[in-house]
Structure 1
C-alpha cells in the first residue's frame, strides 16, 4: 500500500468525455485522443464515466471499442456502468467483444440501484416492465455468470448452416475477474465475497461510521473489503479523487482550478441528502504538495492503484495540462514509473 518511499503501483485517470450537443463527434474524438495521449505518457489505465441523457459519454463500451484498436497497452475501464439501464446478457456480449479487441485490457466497473431520475424516462426505457424491474445486485451476478461462460440458453447445436452456443459469445477468459464494483461499506463487503475488484471515488456514504472525515470513512470501506477477500484471492482496490496538479499551469488556469475547487468545497463539510453522502475536497496544487497530502490520506494509503477524476467542465487544453502533469509530476512524486508501449 502506498506510503512515503513506497512506489504507487498503477496510475490512471477518469473522464466524463463531455461533448457539445451541436457537434458530438468532436467531443468523442477528443476523448479518443486523450486515451491515445495517456498511453504515450505511460499511464496504466484510463476510465470513462457513463452518463445517460446528458452531454457526457452514454456508451463507454462503444467508445472503448474504438480506443481498443487505437492503443496497444493501456487498460481501459468504465467507472461506472449503471446496470439499471442494461440487459446483463447483451452487455456481456459487448464487454467481451471489446475485451477481445483490446487483447484483454478491459476493466468494466458497474453499479446497481434505481437509475438516476428514473421516473422521468422509465416508460421509454421499460414501457411494459418499469414497475417490476429488479435493480438489485442480482443484475451484477447475472452479468458475472454471462462473462464466466455459464449457460444462458437451453440449446446448443447446428440448425441448417447456423451453429448456436449455450453461452455468451464471444467468450473472453479472465474478463469476469476484471469486473469492478463501487459503493459503501456494505457494497465493499459484498464485492469482496463475490470476487469483484473494489472502486472508491470522491464520494462516500457515511453509514454507521462514527467519523465525519472523508479519508477515514474511505479507509474504513477499503479495510472492510480487504478483510472479506477470500484467502489467496486477488484483491484490487482503486482510489478515485479529483486531483489537479498545477506544475505547468498558467496563472489563469491556476485561478480557475482554485475557483472550481472552492465552489465545491461547502458540500464537503457535512453529509448530504438522505443517504448521507460525503464528498471529498478537490485537491489543487503543485505535485510535491499533492503528494504530501495523498501520503497523509488514509484512503490513499490503502489503495494499490488510483484513477484520479478529471473535472467535468474544463477545456481541452486544461485536460492536456492536467494529464501531462499527473504523469510527469505527481506520478513520479508518488514513486510511480511510466510504462512503455
Structure 2
C-alpha cells in the first residue's frame, strides 16, 4: 500500500559533548535543514514534537513558518501541540499565518497532551480548568473553539468606529487560510478519543504510546483504534476523506556507523506500564535491524498497513547529515521492498 512518509523530530538538545545539537538555536536551525534534506530525498513530511519546559522544540509556529519558506513541496506538521497550553484565537492566527507562508502545506497534530516536565504547566501559561472541568476537558474545549474559528465564519461584532474600514458583517480571525480546518489531526491516546476526533471531523494521529485497553500488542490495539475512528468519521458529513498516521522508530542497519549507534539498543518487544497514577499504557517496540529482517517484521505491523501516513522518529541529536542518511536508507531498503512508494 502506498504511504506518505514523514520524519518526526522531538528536537532534543543538550550541551553534552556527545550531542551534535548543543542549544535551542541548534535544534531549530537543524530542524529547518533536516526538512530541506528530507524534501530533497523525496520524503513527504517534516513533523515536529512540541514539549514545554523541556530542552526540546517548544513554540512550533516560527519553525513551521521557516520550514515553509525554505521548502516547496513537503508537508509540514506537528505531532503534537498540547491544547491545554493554547489560546484558541491565537492558535488560529498563528497556524493560519504559518500555513499561508507554506502555501497550504501544514498538517497540524494537536492533542490533550502528554505527561509534563512540571506540575500543571499550563497554569504558568495562564490557563486553568473551569469548575468541574479536568485539564483534558479544557484541552478539548480549546480545540472545539479553535476548530470553529478555523472555518473562517465571522463571529465578532465589529466596532462602529474602527481604526480601519471593516468588511460587512461579523468579523473573523485574520489571516484566514482556506483548507487548514481539514488539515487538523488529533493525537488520540485511546479508542474513545479517536472516535471523538472522528465525530468532530479531524484526521487521526496515533503514536507509539497508547492507553492499554486490551493487553494486546500495540499494533493490534492501534488497528482497532483506527477502525473505530473511521467508522465514527463516516457517520458524519465532514466533506472530506480523513487521513490516519502512525509513528514508529525504524532504524535500518546498513553501515558500521549504524551498528555502532544502534545494534546493541534494539527493543524488540512492546512494553506495558503506568504513565501516571491512573493510566496503564503500551509503548511500541523499536524496529532496529538489517533491512531483510526489518522488511519481514514491518510487514506484520497491521497498524502501519491500515494507516496512509507513517511518521518515523529520528535521533535528531546525531545531526542533520546522519539523519538524512537514515531517511535515505529507509526509502531504499525498507519503503521500496514493502511497496510503500
The TM-score, its normalising length taken from structure 2, stands at 0.86
Q: How far, CA to CA, are the matches of 2:317 and 2:60 in structure 1?
A: 19
The answer to whether the Cα contact below 8 Å between 2:250 and 2:287 also exists between their aligned partners in 1 is yes
Specify which of 329, 335, 339 is matched with residue 325 of structure 1: 329
TM superposition shift of 1:9: 2.4
Q: How far, CA to CA, are the matches of 1:75 and 1:270 in structure 2?
A: 33
Specify which of 128, 149, 153 is matched with residue 150 of structure 1: 153
Q: Which residue of 2 aligns with 1:49?
A: 49
The answer to whether the Cα contact below 8 Å between 2:82 and 2:139 also exists between their aligned partners in 1 is no
Residues 19-30 of structure 1: matches in 2 within 5 Å? 19-20=13-14, 23-30=23-30
TM superposition shift of 1:316: 4.2
Q: Which residue of 1 aligns with 2:19?
A: none
Q: Which residue of 2 aligns with 1:110?
A: 110
Q: How far, CA to CA, are the matches of 1:286 and 1:194 in structure 2?
A: 41
Q: Which residue of 1 aligns with 2:339?
A: 335
Q: CA distance change for structure 1 residues 330 and 168 in 2, over 3 Å: closer, same or farther?
A: same
Deviates more, 1:109-118 or 1:193-202: 109-118
TM superposition shift of 1:92: 0.6
CA RMSD of aligned residues (A): 2.5
Q: Which residue of 2 aligns with 1:31?
A: 31
The answer to whether the Cα contact below 8 Å between 2:52 and 2:117 also exists between their aligned partners in 1 is no
Q: How far, CA to CA, are the matches of 1:185 and 1:312 in structure 2?
A: 30
Q: Which residue of 2 aligns with 1:291?
A: 295
Q: Which residue of 2 aligns with 1:234?
A: 241
1:138 matched to 2:117? The reply is no
Q: CA distance change for structure 1 residues 85 and 11 in 2, over 3 Å: closer, same or farther?
A: same
Q: CA distance change for structure 1 residues 121 and 224 in 2, over 3 Å: closer, same or farther?
A: closer
- What residue ranges of structure 1 are gaps of 5+ in the alignment? 3-7
TM superposition shift of 1:288: 3.2
The answer to whether the Cα contact below 8 Å between 1:114 and 1:135 also exists between their aligned partners in 2 is no
Higher relative CO (CA 8 A, sep ≥ 6), structure 1 or 2? 1
TM superposition shift of 1:131: 7.0
Q: Which residue of 2 aligns with 1:282?
A: 286
Q: How far, CA to CA, are the matches of 2:186 and 2:154 in structure 1?
A: 23
1:14 matched to 2:20? The reply is no
Q: SS of the residue aligned with 2:35?
A: helix
Specify which of 302, 305, 309 is matched with residue 309 of structure 2: 305
The answer to whether the Cα contact below 8 Å between 1:242 and 1:311 also exists between their aligned partners in 2 is no
Q: How many residues align?
A: 323
Q: How far, CA to CA, are the matches of 1:14 and 1:240 in structure 2?
A: 8
Q: How far, CA to CA, are the matches of 1:130 and 1:299 in structure 2?
A: 34
Q: How far, CA to CA, are the matches of 2:39 and 2:320 in structure 1?
A: 17
Q: How far, CA to CA, are the matches of 1:330 and 1:84 in structure 2?
A: 37
The answer to whether the Cα contact below 8 Å between 1:20 and 1:27 also exists between their aligned partners in 2 is no
Q: CA distance change for structure 1 residues 217 and 162 in 2, over 3 Å: closer, same or farther?
A: same
- What residue ranges of structure 2 are gaps of 5+ in the alignment? 16-21
Q: How far, CA to CA, are the matches of 1:241 and 1:82 in structure 2?
A: 20
Q: Which residue of 2 aligns with 1:218?
A: 222
Deviates more, 1:315-324 or 1:93-102: 315-324
Specify which of 163, 167, 174 is matched with residue 172 of structure 2: 167
Q: How far, CA to CA, are the matches of 2:287 and 2:340 in structure 1?
A: 19
The answer to whether the Cα contact below 8 Å between 1:82 and 1:115 also exists between their aligned partners in 2 is no
Specify which of 225, 242, 246 is matched with residue 253 of structure 2: 246
